[in-house]
Chains A and B, each alone.
Chain A
Amino acid sequence: MSTTDFIDVEQFLFGKGFKFSDTANSGRPSFSPVYEILFKQRNGQLTTAQTNSQIDALRNVDLRGQFDKYLYKQSFNQQYAINLRGGNNNMSYLFSAGYDKNSSELDAGYSRFNLRLQNIYQPIKNLQFSTGVYYTQSKSSSGRPAYGSITTSNGNLPPYTLLADDNGNALPVTRGFRKSYTDTAGGGKLLNWDYYPLEDYKHTIATTTTNDIILNLGINYAVSKSFSVDLKYQYEKQQVALENLNDVQSYFTRNLINQYSQLNRATGVVTYKIPVGGILDISRNTLSSHNARGQLNFNKQWQKHAVTAIAGAEIRESNTISNAYRTYGYDPDILTSSSVDFANTYPSFVTGSNSFIPNNSGFSNTLNRFVSVYSNAAYTYAQKYTLSLSGRRDASNLFGVNTNEKWNPLWSVGGGWLLSKESFYKVSALPYLKLRVTYGVSGNVDQSKSAVTTITYSSNSPYTLSPYAIISRNANPELKWEKVKLMNFGLDFRTKNERVSGSIEYYVKNARDLFGPSPIDITTGISSGIITKNVATMKGNGIDIELNTLNTNGIVKWQSNINFTWYKDQITDYYNPSLQGSSFISGTVPNSLGTVGKPVYSIFSYQWAGLDPATGDPMGYINGKVSKNYASIIADSTQLKDLVYVGSVMPTIFGSIGNTISFKNVSLTVRLMYKFGYFFRNASIDYTNLFNTRVGHPDYANRWQKPGDELHTNVPSMVYPSISARDAFYDNSEVLVEKGDNIRIQYITLAYDIPKTSNKNLPFRNIQLYANINNVGIIWKANKKGIDPDYPLSSVLPARNIAIGLKATF
């Protein structure tokens, strides 16, 4: 939405007395600069001419452009790595080290250093020990504020906000309170209350430091030629330290100190309940995990028979202990801090309401355990016929579930036929052809399943000084396992000289007792209004094709890699008791699990009856009759059957096409991605959000303004007071659903290789120079509104990355 349109809306709202009550609000919420100018005019401090010229000066300001100019920069990533390998017959090693240093487009830093050392030692013929040590240290730090990340007490920053003056000096922007209040409230006794977006991030620095060490040990003992035992153990310890320092010059800290300042108006003495100094939040998480696995391997071939089998068990535990605390009055230079009173409430300087000083201490201790037993076996006869069986059972320490219910079973059976090995096979153009078929069954336990109601302890109540708890999970004993059956047919092939190779898979999936959110009457006490239930059965089928082709193999070598997926599923039975339309649009189960015969993830919309030619009001239907009773349409009078089914939310055809063309030492790779057969809901103007939180939309310019406009626009007229149900109806109506089909270039890579053969004196075997562009962009889309369907709601698209690199092999 343009700045000038936004200003017009603000002038309109001012004329309606919108939010004037905030002038009497003890929270002193801020107003926008245009409102402040208009208040001055209203109080006689500005003439109409002055007012207009001040406001018009703002009409050309572009906040987005200022973010680009002052806060966004080119991101820069550096990556270095070295690998060394060596050894002899009974000992080998691998050593590698790497260092990354990145800075994002918002100057957020990330650095990583890692070391890896792996050894394999074979003391006697049948025994092999392997050890590995991995060490990683990484550090990330916060950068500058992103566009849209700064909000005020009245919503987003207005689009005409100025971040800097003409000379580039940082300007304060109104954020929490009115400037006229913050400038005078303390009579000069309080800390400065201004917020400077271009300065503040320098005083709010969050860092995350991670130290991670992984040790592993493996023993492989070959009992005989065909039978071996593997034992593996891995230990990991990871320490993550998060530090968030808001120094005394940061807005966050100044604001908090001011709010808890007690000013004696008579003496002019300020008592600081929060000391003047930085605020440091620290949290430390320590993860330790153990992972042990024992496996038997069997591998034997005799005459025309071949058997491979494994059986094993795995046990895993990870324990994370965290603690967090806050220090007030922190001085990072001399490392001093102060204590504060957490036990008593103090009146807020602004509102006079009493509150405790935020404490921010917390502890947590989580433990995840996982046990698994598994086995696979395959028998091949004459290298042609293969029969395979596999099964596994997994369990974890789900809370509030009986042990025998914690085990997830999974098994499958399969067969393979290498047709090209048959004596009758004579197709010389296809020297390799294999057919496969697999049938598998799996079951899932919902993580939220609990046989009993469980509670979670929070912290101590400051009133009763005893711990208090919330009900975290409701007993849900009726929940059954979700069962999925999958049948898979596959075909692998290779042509002569491997000009074309690839595979084709076709699969059929049947699932019953699918988990899904189910609306429940809140009278039952379930506050979310949702419980997980077994709501549906579905069937789906799909085709995956992968093709690798060598198109030309001369001086110019052209290779293609094509992936293609077609997938279709549908609900075959639906047993959710509630079919209230709104639940399928924006309530509890949006875009999912709806009508029998429709895809599992579908977009439903309100039926659209056009704009009212007299008023520009959007119109829908109730019981087949045109209606403007929005509250009723979006609440109780629309059932699932009344909604318009538009299509699948998930692409039904998708894949990628990669082409590499090489000429001598130069190669160029372009990879396209495509998605077809799906829909997305587009955003549009929502007047309630526009008025209350300053969230605009370019569609505002296309709104209905006079009779006749309904012939070329679907954007409703602006009404005051705004009606949130009217906005919700329009936002979820069928006119805002767009086809998502698109093709984009994912990356382009240009590489140049200098092999040693070209110059025997070079100290390396091969050296490669490459340049890579990521997120190149969309090249075709079905919708005519210029929206990238992958990012329909974001105003900032992911940045295009360009990387230049050098790779040397010695």
Chain B
Amino acid sequence: MLGSKKINIVSSLLLVTLAVMMSSCSKYLDAAPNKSYVIPSTLKDFQALLDNYNNLNNVDMSVGEISADNYYLNYADWAALSDEGQRRMYTWEKDYFFQFNAGDWRRPYAAVYYANTVLDNIDDVDRNAANAMQWDNVLGQALFVRAKTYWQLAAAFTKAYNPLTAPTDMGIPLRTNSDFNIVAVRSSLAETYNTIIADLKTSAALLPVTPVHVMRPCKTAAYALLARTYLNMGNYDSSLRYADLCLQLKSNLLDYNTLSASATYPIQQFNAEVIYESSMSVPAPLSNSRAKIDSVLYQSFASNDLRKTIFFKDNGNGSVGFKGSYEGGATLFSGISVNEVYLMRAESYARKNDKTNALNDLNTLLIKRYKTGLFVPVTAIDANDALDKILVERRKELLMRGLRWPDLKRLNFEGRNIAIKRVLNQVTYTLTPNDLRYALPIPEDVIRLSNIQQNPR
């Protein structure tokens, strides 16, 4: 047949073409379907994950603040809350605070996942002389982010730290890497705090003193968070040590005399006191149109105290709302700032019986809060008296930042006997000191899916 030769030539040509096509196929198919898609493998990629401020800085937990006693709701506003869980949270019910896939559990663990993704992969990048600073910085940031998130989770979902029972008390689930097939288990409270401290110590050694922006963690922030963690644990020696290390690096305070009390939000975002920026997205109960500041707390501000007008807005009906956030807006600041570190050092000095240094720190802070020339330095008869006064000022200076709830646990644990109350429609709800409900209930769907243990009621 005449045709068969032609067939052979043509088919062998096609076969060759096909073979060439197939071998180059693998390269051809490896092209990324989208230029923005990347397999994270460089320090730039890791830094990009850690710079995701929407997922790491702007989503701090607010459940502790909702549960705390800095504010109250009137009955109409409480009843108008559309989220029944928040109504339950406000009155310290035992359970069902959270809807399915609750943000207050999801967001912190998503942040931990980001940090773990960096921690799991950074070792694949060779650390050399050229990149050592950046390499260390990225690693330090990831460890800090994880520690900060664990700290917030522990503040909300565990009971007060008791060094005697901590090895058997329930802590939070710790995620050591990004493998989501590993089922969550609850660590002990001691493990939780040891992990936070270990991560922070490592990160403090790695991070630069001055960050590109306070959105990024720095050495100063790691020291401050260590001080805060030790304070929570009642370890005042270490709290003092790290607060001191922090203040050696950064000690600027805002002089409130320079602020305009009439501004809608008088305190600017990223101001000179801010060491590390992070914030809570404001849930309905904490919105300053509903949340009214505890009247005893408000009355405790002296008339010469600038905070009385800078922190609070008059609602026109005898109640006041909060406008003193370090966010320059309605968002609530939950990061770290110098004023908190002064108060931690002051408290630690006082607890170590060093009245002079304690009052010194307190007065250094307060003079910036009073009208120029009208501040009378605080005095005390002894260190205990100083401590009481520092704790009062701590409450006044650091309200609506997510710090009151862990403070209530810590102070009640040492016997300060602070019972907190809510009144709704003539019904009084009381949370007695050291009540089991101080460890908030973990979302029920999480319990069901992971089989981790619920906090006892």
Give min CB distance, A533 to chain B, whole Å: 11
Contact of A224 among B3, B48, B55, B263 (CB under 8 A): B3
A18 to chain B: closest residue by CB:
B80
**CA of A457 to CA of B36 in the docked complex: distance in angstroms?**
5
A223 to chain B: closest residue by CB:
B6
A474 at the interface (CB under 8 A from B): yes
B11 touches A296 (CB 8 A): yes
Contact of B29 among A18, A406, A464, A636 (CB under 8 A): A406
Give min CB distance, B425 to chain A, whole Å: 11
Give min CB distance, A594 to chain B, whole Å: 17
Q: Which residues of A contact B228 (CB under 8 A)?
A: none
B265 at the interface (CB under 8 A from A): yes
A637-651: which have CB < 8 Å to B?
none
A454 touches B38 (CB 8 A): yes
B447 touches A636 (CB 8 A): yes
A89 at the interface (CB under 8 A from B): no
B80 touches A399 (CB 8 A): no
Give min CB distance, B241 to chain A, whole Å: 30
Known: A523-B105, A527-B106. A467 touches B48 (CB 8 A): yes
Number of A residues with CB within 8 Å of any CB on chain B: 92
Q: Which residues of B contact A688 (CB under 8 A)?
A: 82
A338 at the interface (CB under 8 A from B): no
Give min CB distance, A345 to chain B, whole Å: 8
Contact of B33 among A345, A397, A474 (CB under 8 A): A397
Known: A478-B181, A631-B84. A397 touches B113 (CB 8 A): no
A469 touches B45 (CB 8 A): yes
Q: Which residues of B contact A475 (CB under 8 A)?
A: 178
Q: Which residues of B contact A452 (CB under 8 A)?
A: 39
B121 to chain A: closest residue by CB:
A453
Contact of A525 among B175, B213, B287 (CB under 8 A): B175
Q: Which residues of A contact B100 (CB under 8 A)?
A: 529, 582, 587, 635
Give min CB distance, A204 to chain B, whole Å: 28
Q: Which residues of A contact B216 (CB under 8 A)?
A: 464
Q: Which residue numbers of B lie inside 8 Å of A, CB to CB?
A: 1-4, 6-7, 10-11, 14, 17-18, 21-22, 25-26, 28-40, 44-45, 47-49, 51-53, 55, 74-85, 87, 95-96, 99-101, 105-107, 109-110, 112-114, 116-117, 173, 175, 178, 180-184, 212-213, 215-216, 263-265, 269, 287-290, 315, 321, 327-331, 444-450, 452
Known: A20-B77, A373-B18, A636-B447. A455 touches B82 (CB 8 A): no
B101 touches A529 (CB 8 A): yes
Known: A397-B32, A455-B48. A471 touches B3 (CB 8 A): no
Query: Which 10 A-B pairs have CB atoms at the shortest separation, nearest pair first?
Result: A525-B113, A352-B264, A17-B76, A353-B329, A224-B3, A25-B289, A524-B180, A631-B96, A469-B48, A523-B184
Q: Which residues of A contact B213 (CB under 8 A)?
A: 463-464
Q: Which residues of A contact B181 (CB under 8 A)?
A: 478, 524
B31 touches A367 (CB 8 A): yes
A354 at the interface (CB under 8 A from B): yes
A525 touches B330 (CB 8 A): no
Q: Which residues of B contact A468 (CB under 8 A)?
A: 48-49, 51-53
Give min CB distance, A25 to chain B, whole Å: 4
A24-55: which have CB < 8 Å to B?
24-26
A364 touches B10 (CB 8 A): no
A679 at the interface (CB under 8 A from B): no
- A selection of 12 A-B contacts at a CB cut-off of 8 Å is A17-B79, A21-B76, A296-B14, A313-B18, A366-B33, A463-B213, A469-B45, A471-B113, A522-B446, A525-B113, A525-B175, A527-B107
Contact of B82 among A315, A474, A692 (CB under 8 A): A692
B51 touches A396 (CB 8 A): no
Known: A353-B265, A522-B101. A25 touches B287 (CB 8 A): yes
A665 at the interface (CB under 8 A from B): no
A397 touches B80 (CB 8 A): no
Contact of B264 among A294, A351, A521, A525 (CB under 8 A): A351
Contact of A454 among B6, B39, B80 (CB under 8 A): B39
Q: Which residues of A contact B21 (CB under 8 A)?
A: 313, 315, 371
Known: A223-B7, A521-B450, A635-B444. A371 touches B52 (CB 8 A): no
Contact of A365 among B34, B48, B445 (CB under 8 A): B34
B13 to chain A: closest residue by CB:
A229
Contact of B80 among A461, A529, A721 (CB under 8 A): A721
Q: Which residues of B contact A371 (CB under 8 A)?
A: 21, 25, 28-29
Give min CB distance, A427 to chain B, whole Å: 42
Known: A19-B80, A354-B329, A691-B82. A464 touches B51 (CB 8 A): yes
Q: Write the A557-585 contact mask toward B (1 if CB under 8 angstroms, else 0).
A: 00000000000000000000010101000
**CA of A475 to CA of B180 in the docked complex: distance in angstroms?**
9
Give min CB distance, B77 to chain A, whole Å: 5
**CA of A519 to CA of B10 in the docked complex: distance in angstroms?**
55
Q: How many A-B residue pairs have CB under 8 A?
A: 287
A663 at the interface (CB under 8 A from B): no
A578 to chain B: closest residue by CB:
B449
Q: Write the A438-476 contact mask toward B (1 if CB under 8 angstroms, else 0).
A: 000000000000001111111001011011111110110
B80 touches A229 (CB 8 A): no
Q: Which residues of B contact A17 (CB under 8 A)?
A: 74-77, 79-80
A525 touches B116 (CB 8 A): yes
**CA of A24 to CA of B319 in the docked complex: distance in angstroms?**
11
B177 to chain A: closest residue by CB:
A525
**CA of A21 to CA of B445 in the docked complex: distance in angstroms?**
32
A529 touches B106 (CB 8 A): yes
Q: Which residues of B contact A369 (CB under 8 A)?
A: 28-29, 31, 33
**CA of A224 to CA of B95 in the docked complex: distance in angstroms?**
81
Q: Write the A391-416 contact mask toward B (1 if CB under 8 angstroms, else 0).
A: 00001111110010010000000000
B36 touches A353 (CB 8 A): no
A456 touches B180 (CB 8 A): no
A520 touches B79 (CB 8 A): no
Among A377-385, A490-498, A722-730, the one that faces the other chain is: A722-730
B331 touches A353 (CB 8 A): yes
Q: Which residues of A contact B101 (CB under 8 A)?
A: 522, 528-529, 587
Known: A406-B29, A461-B53. A294 touches B14 (CB 8 A): yes
Given contacts A18-B76, A463-B51, A467-B48, 7 further A-B pairs with CB under 8 A are: A18-B79, A353-B329, A353-B330, A367-B32, A461-B53, A468-B49, A529-B106
A524 to chain B: closest residue by CB:
B180
Known: A223-B6, A521-B184, A631-B96. A399 touches B33 (CB 8 A): yes
Q: Which residues of A contact B114 (CB under 8 A)?
A: 471, 525
B175 to chain A: closest residue by CB:
A525
**CA of A296 to CA of B449 in the docked complex: distance in angstroms?**
55
A347 at the interface (CB under 8 A from B): yes
A664 at the interface (CB under 8 A from B): no
A157-201: which have CB < 8 Å to B?
none
A632 to chain B: closest residue by CB:
B96
Q: Which residues of A contact B1 (CB under 8 A)?
A: 224
A76 at the interface (CB under 8 A from B): no
Give min CB distance, B272 to chain A, whole Å: 16
Give min CB distance, A349 to chain B, whole Å: 10
A722 touches B82 (CB 8 A): yes
Give min CB distance, B44 to chain A, whole Å: 8
Give min CB distance, A127 to chain B, whole Å: 13
A724 touches B33 (CB 8 A): no
